[in-house]
Amino acid sequence: MNVPPIVNRLQLHIVSDIIFLVKTIKYTRHARNRMRLHGITEDEIELAIRKPEHLESSVEGRSNAWIEASGRFLRVTYKEIEDKFLIISAVKKRKKWR
């Protein structure tokens, strides 16, 4: 039985959303301070992790998720640890990802 590619993509999307919902989001003190300094909300952080416009690997097993938010570019640095996302830093920048 041939399944149309769109169905496979939908199933993958549903599975990734379920996995995301199971994982909690924890913030380091540094991340909370950066969020306050740059006016970044928890909703923006969740959006960046869930649906990044650009994703790049970083040092020590970390990832940088980028989205465009409010005319600026939000970079969220996080690490996926077992059942949670640990947010390490978040900044809004004028320049886009490379």
CATH level 3 topology of 24-93: YaeB-like fold (3.30.2310)
Per-residue model confidence as pLDDT tens for the chain (98 residues) = 454 444 444 444 455 555 455 688 999 999 999 999 999 999 999 999 989 999 999 999 999 999 998 889 999 999 998 889 999 999 999 888 77
Question: What's the confidence (pLDDT) of residue 11?
Answer: 47
pTM given for the model? 0.75
Question: What's the confidence (pLDDT) of residue 64?
Answer: 95
Question: What's the confidence (pLDDT) of residue 10?
Answer: 45
Which residues make Cβ contacts (< 8 Å) with residue 17, sequence separation at least 6? 50
Kindly report the CA angle at 21 between 20 and 27, in degrees rounded to 5?
A: 75
Amino acid identity for residue 49 in this structure = I
Dist CA 71 CA 47 (whole Å): 16
Match 């950066």 to its residue by tokens.
Answer: 34
